[in-house]
Amino acid sequence: MKERLIFASLDQPRKPDKGLRDGSCNRTACQAPLKGERQWTMDDFMVVGGKLYYCHRCARDFNAWDRQIGVPLRCTPVPPPEQARITRDADLPQVSSFHG
Ligand SMILES: [Zn+2]
Query: Which of the two residues, 31 and 89, has the higher pLDDT score?
Result: 31
Q: From the CA of 82, how far away is ligand 1's center (Å)?
A: 19
Q: From the CA of 45, how far away is ligand 1's center (Å)?
A: 19
pTM: 0.68
Q: What is the pLDDT of residue 1?
A: 46
Res 45 pLDDT > 80: yes
Q: What is the pLDDT of residue 27?
A: 96
Query: Which of the two residues, 42 and 45, has the higher pLDDT score?
Result: 42
Question: Contacts for 94-97 with beta carbons within 8 Å, 24 or more apart?
Answer: 95/17
C-alpha of 96 from chain center: 19
Q: From the CA of 49, how far away is ligand 1's center (Å)?
A: 21
Residue type for position 6 = I
Q: Find the helix or strand (DSSP H, E) in which 54 lies.
A: strand 50-55
Phi, psi (rounded to 5 degrees) for 71: -115, 165
What's the rounded mean pLDDT across residues 58-70? 97
